[in-house]
């Protein structure tokens, strides 16, 4: 059966991919005509699946499969928005698959002992406005209400965008949910990396969402003529930057669960015939284990200072950003693992290196994530792809999970 349901999900995602501001890939920012068109499709499919649908004041489309009698509620879903010229699966697949799973249960006339809500969050990527995760933060009651005054590049504030979308931004603070009546939040998402494909597995269970920290580092030496200053008299800022880049890589290979990236480097004067006098760079660390990340950050700060001393350079290093890891709930992970086993697949647990709506939902309730293999690990790219078969297996797993979950 999974293949047919997977094909249906693929067909839905194709229609949603047409709700795009760009011809190439999918560009669907929050509170745009594309968002409205995608919501219209999702609303129709939710209603067909027996869900009652409304949009909350933060722009989250909510489809409810109601069990009545004050039954507790399981939350599922993900985000509808994409990056600029992104793919057709990131986020929105995690809305479509639960709808198809609930539709299947509804057609079977199956009643669940709990209600289910499928949430289509407006904005996870944070591309349009200099904020993100407004929907889940509103539910968790962790939203900073001043974010509605932030503006997009065209000068439109989030407040205006919400109002133009028919919403009342002043009521966002009333969306906070009572956690006592919530069973948890389960987000289905493409992996956005190559691990499941490498393992030959269609599905995976997320163990934790990585914490992140960034260090801004500047080495200051002396810009000089590349032909006249001998090697031993140079104060080259770039060789110091290279040394710490390699050190970060070594550390990430040595310490378990650590990812280290130097993705941004500004070299001055950045010409072929001058010794670089100044380098500003950003070292980013991610880990599902906060202690590992923090230890690595301190080690790299010390290494930067030693390197600067050794090479007689100025050095300024500051940790400019840090975000804690989100643990996925053990019993929900077990429930997902059982559901995967029921599809005759081996269970693989892996951390998520990317942030998700689940990170913000963790402030409200326990969270778990089901990862679906994506082709070559490609994401945030028009080439993003998950197969009918893999999505069909994910739907089967969700059906098994919904059927077996204890409340």
Residue 39 CA to residue 278 CA, distance in Å, equals: 49
Interface residues for Zn ion in 314-343 (CB under 5 A)?
none
Least distance CB 83 / Zn ion (angstroms)? 9
Choices 82-90, 112-120, 197-205, 280-288 (CB under 5 A): range interacting with Zn ion: 82-90
Which residue number, 30 or 91, has a Cβ lying nearer to Zn ion? 91
Least distance CB 185 / Zn ion (angstroms)? 14
- Phi (first) and psi of residue 78, to 5 degrees: -170, -160
Confirm if 81 and 360 have CB atoms less than 8 A apart: no
Choices 13-21, 48-56, 87-95, 245-253 (CB under 5 A): range interacting with Zn ion: 87-95
Q: Does 213 bind Zn ion (CB under 5 A)?
A: no
Least distance CB 19 / Zn ion (angstroms)? 16
Interface residues for Zn ion in 354-373 (CB under 5 A)?
none
Which residue number, 3 or 376, has a Cβ lying nearer to Zn ion? 376
Which residue number, 90 or 213, has a Cβ lying nearer to Zn ion? 90
**Residue environment code for 188-215, b if the CB has 16+ CB neighbours within 10 A, otherwise e:** bbbbbbebbbeeebbbbbbbbbbbbbbb
Q: Does 30 bind Zn ion (CB under 5 A)?
A: no
Least distance CB 300 / Zn ion (angstroms)? 28
Contacts of residue 348, Cβ cutoff 8 Å, sequence gap at least 6:
195, 196, 199, 201, 204, 205
Q: Does 91 bind Zn ion (CB under 5 A)?
A: yes
* Alpha-carbon separation of residue 192 from 351, 380, 385 (angstroms): 12, 8, 10
Choices 41-49, 65-73, 83-91, 102-110 (CB under 5 A): range interacting with Zn ion: 83-91
Residue 249 CA to residue 322 CA, distance in Å, equals: 19
Which residue number, 90 or 191, has a Cβ lying nearer to Zn ion? 90
**Burial of 37 from C-beta contacts in 10 A (0-12 / 13-18 / 19+):** middle
Which of residues 34, 57, 81, 90 is near Zn ion by CB under 5 A? 90
Least distance CB 356 / Zn ion (angstroms)? 6
Number of residues that bind Zn ion (CB under 5 A): 2
Least distance CB 16 / Zn ion (angstroms)? 14
- Give the angle subtended at the CA of 164 by the CAs of 161 and 165, to the nearest 5°: 85
Choices 5-13, 90-98, 170-178, 309-317 (CB under 5 A): range interacting with Zn ion: 90-98
- Name the CA dihedral angle for 367, 131, 17, 175, rounded to a multiple of 10 degrees: 50
Which residue number, 91 or 211, has a Cβ lying nearer to Zn ion? 91
Least distance CB 99 / Zn ion (angstroms)? 17
Which residue number, 34 or 90, has a Cβ lying nearer to Zn ion? 90
Q: Which residues are annotated as a binding site for Zn(2+)?
A: 79, 90, 125, 189, 380
Least distance CB 323 / Zn ion (angstroms)? 16
* Widest CA span in the chain: 84
Which residue number, 308 or 358, has a Cβ lying nearer to Zn ion? 358
Q: Which residues are annotated as a binding site for allantoate?
A: 214, 273, 286
- Phi (first) and psi of residue 44, to 5 degrees: -60, -45
Choices 85-93, 249-257, 299-307, 398-406 (CB under 5 A): range interacting with Zn ion: 85-93
Q: Which residues are annotated as a binding site?
A: 79, 90, 125, 189, 214, 273, 286, 380
Residue nearest to Zn ion (CB): 91
Least distance CB 189 / Zn ion (angstroms)? 6
State the residues that interact with Zn ion by CB under 5 A. 90-91
């Amino acid at each position: 059966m999974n293949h047919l349901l997977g094909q249906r999900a693929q067909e839905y995602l194709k229609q949603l991919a047409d709700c795009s501001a760009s011809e190439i890939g999918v560009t669907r920012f929050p509170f745009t005509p594309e968002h409205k068109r995608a919501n219209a499709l999702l609303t129709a499919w939710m209603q067909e699946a027996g869900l009652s649908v409304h949009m909350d004041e933060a722009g989250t489309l909510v489809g409810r499969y109601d069990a009545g009698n004050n039954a507790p509620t399981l939350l599922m879903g993900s985000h509808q928005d994409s990056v600029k010229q992104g793919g057709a699966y990131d986020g929105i697949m995690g809305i479509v698959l639960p709808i198809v799973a609930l539709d299947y249960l509804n057609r079977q006339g199956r009643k669940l002992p709990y209600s289910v809500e499928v949430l289509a969050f407006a904005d996870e990527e944070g591309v349009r406005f200099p904020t993100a995760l407004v929907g889940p933060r509103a539910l968790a009651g962790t939203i900073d209400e001043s974010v509605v005054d932030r503006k997009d590049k065209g000068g439109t504030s989030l407040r205006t965008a919400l109002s133009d979308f028919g919403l009342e931004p002043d009521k966002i603070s009333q969306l906070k949910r009572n956690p006592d009546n919530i069973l948890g939040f389960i987000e289905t998402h493409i992996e956005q990396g190559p691990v499941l494909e490498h393992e030959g597995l269609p599905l995976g269970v997320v163990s934790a969402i990585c914490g992140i920290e960034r260090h801004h580092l500047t080495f200051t030496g002396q810009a000089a003529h590349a032909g006249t200053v001998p090697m031993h008299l140079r104060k080259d800022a770039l060789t110091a930057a290279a040394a710490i880049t390699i050190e970060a890589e070594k550390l990430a290979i040595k310490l378990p669960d650590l990812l280290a990236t130097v993705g941004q480097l500004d070299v001055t004067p950045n010409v072929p015939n001058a010794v670089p006098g100044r380098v500003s760079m950003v070292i980013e660390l991610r880990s599902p284990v906060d202690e590992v990340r923090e230890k690595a950050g301190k080690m790299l700060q010390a290494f930067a200072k030693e390197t600067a001393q050794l090479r007689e350079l100025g050095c300024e290093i500051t940790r400019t950003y840090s975000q804690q890891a989100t643990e996925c709930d053990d019993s929900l992970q077990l429930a997902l693992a059982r559901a995967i086993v029921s599809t005759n697949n081996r269970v693989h647990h892996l951390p998520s290196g990317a942030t998700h709506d689940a990170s913000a939902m963790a402030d409200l309730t326990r969270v778990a994530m089901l990862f679906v293999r994506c082709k070559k690990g490609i994401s945030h790219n028009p080439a993003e792809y998950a197969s009918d078969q893999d999505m069909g297996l994910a739907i089967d797993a969700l059906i098994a999970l919904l059927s077996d979950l204890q409340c």
